[in-house]
Amino acid sequence: MLKPLRKAVLPVAGLGTRFLPATKAMPKEMLPVVDKPLIQYAVDEARAAGIEQFCMVTGRGKTALIDHFDIAFELEATLAERGKREALALLREEAMPPGSISTVRQQVPLGLGHAIWCARTFIGDDPFAILLPDDLVLGEVPCTAQLAQVYNETGGNVVAVSQVPREQTNRYGILKVGAVDGVRVEVTGLVEKPAPEEAPSDLSIIGRYVLLPEVVAHLSQMERGAGNEVQLTDAMAKMIGHAPFHGLKFQGRRFDCGDKVGFLEAQIAFSLARPDLAPQVREFLKNYVNS
C-alpha cells in the first residue's frame, strides 16, 4: 500500500555568506521576497501539497526561523486592539498547527546528504519531501504538489529538474535519462557536478525532491563525494533500479535566491504576479529600463 506523503525536510543550516552583511545576524532563509521570508514560501508550498509535518535541519543562530512560525501573542493583541483586522487575519492564516514543526541541529557542515541524514529519526519509514528554501518557484501549481502527483502515480522517487547551459553542469546534480514520457523522464543515473564534457545530459536537479526513506540507509554510510561532502545525489543514485525514479520537468519558473541577481529577479517576478502591486511596479520599472 502506498504511504501518503505527509513529511518534509527543510535544510536551513547554511551560513548565507553570499548575502553578508545582511545575514550576519539574520538567517538567509528569513530574507523577504516582497513581504514573505523565503522559509515561509517553502512551508506554504509544502502545505499546498498536503504536507503536515516539517523538520528544519538548523545550525547555530537560526532560532528566528522557529520564532517566525510561533504565535506572537503581543503582536496579535496589539493588532486586534488597533483594529488591524487584515494584518491579524494574515498572521492567523499562516499559523502552523501545534507540534507540526520539529528541528534538529547539523553541527558540522558536511553537505546536503549529511543534513538529510540528521533528520533520520523524523523521516522514519515514511516518504518525504525535501525543499531547499533558496530555490523559489513561481507557477500556477506549486512545484512540490507537482512532484507529489508523480509520487502518487508511481510510488517512487521523483526530483524536479530543469535544463541548464552545458557549461554550467559542474554546478549541479545532473541526470542520465532513460525513457521520456512528456514532462516525466526516467532517471537511469545521477552525477554530482560533472564537468561539461562528462555530463550525461543538461537536466539538473533543483531544490525539490520526493524520496523514499531507503535513502537514509545509503546516507548512513557517510561516503564523501564532490567537495569532500556527503552528497545526497550519490545516495539517490544507489536507489536507481530498486524503485521507480523519475525527473519532472516542472511547470513554473525557478529563481536561485542564494544568488544576489536571482534574488533580485525573484523580487520583481513575484511583485508582478501580485495584482495589488503589479501596476505600480511596472510603472517604476520604466525609470530603470534602458537607463
pLDDT at position 102 is 93
Read off the amino acid at residue 270: F
Q: What is the DSSP letter of 22?
A: T
Q: Examine the pLDDT at 226 and tell me if it is beyond 80.
A: no
Res. 121 pLDDT band, cuts 50 70 90: very high
Phi/psi of residue 272, each to 5°?
A: -70, -20
* 228, pLDDT greater than 80: no
> Sorting pLDDT into bands at 50, 70 and 90, what band is 193?
confident
Domains of the chain: 7-285 (3.90.550.10)
* 8 Å CB contact between 72 and 92: no
Residue 269 confidence (pLDDT) above 80: yes
pTM: 0.92
Mean pLDDT across the chain, nearest whole number? 91
Please say if the pLDDT value at position 75 is more than 90. no
Share of the chain above pLDDT 90, in %: 58
Taking only the tens place, the pLDDT of each residue in 9-66 is 999 998 888 988 988 888 999 999 999 999 999 999 999 999 999 999 998 888 888 8
Task: Return the pLDDT at 88.
Answer: 87
**Which one has a higher pLDDT value, 227 or 211?**
211
Residue among 171, 175, 169, 173 nearest 196 (CA): 169
- Buried b or exposed e, range 113-134, using 16+ CB within 10 angstroms: bbbbbbbbebbeeebbbbbbbb
* Grid coordinates of 202: 543538461
Q: What is the pLDDT of residues 163-191, one digit of tens each?
A: 888 888 888 888 998 888 889 999 999 88
Question: What is the pLDDT at residue 105?
Answer: 93
Count CA atoms within 13 Å of residue 255 on its CB side. 20
Q: Compute CA 234 distance to the chain's CA centroid, rounded to the nearest angstrom.
A: 19
> Residue 291's pLDDT band (boundaries 50, 70, 90)?
low
**Dihedral pair phi/psi, residue 148, rounded to 5°:** -60, -35
| Closest of 255, 254, 204, 261 to residue 18, by C-alpha | 261
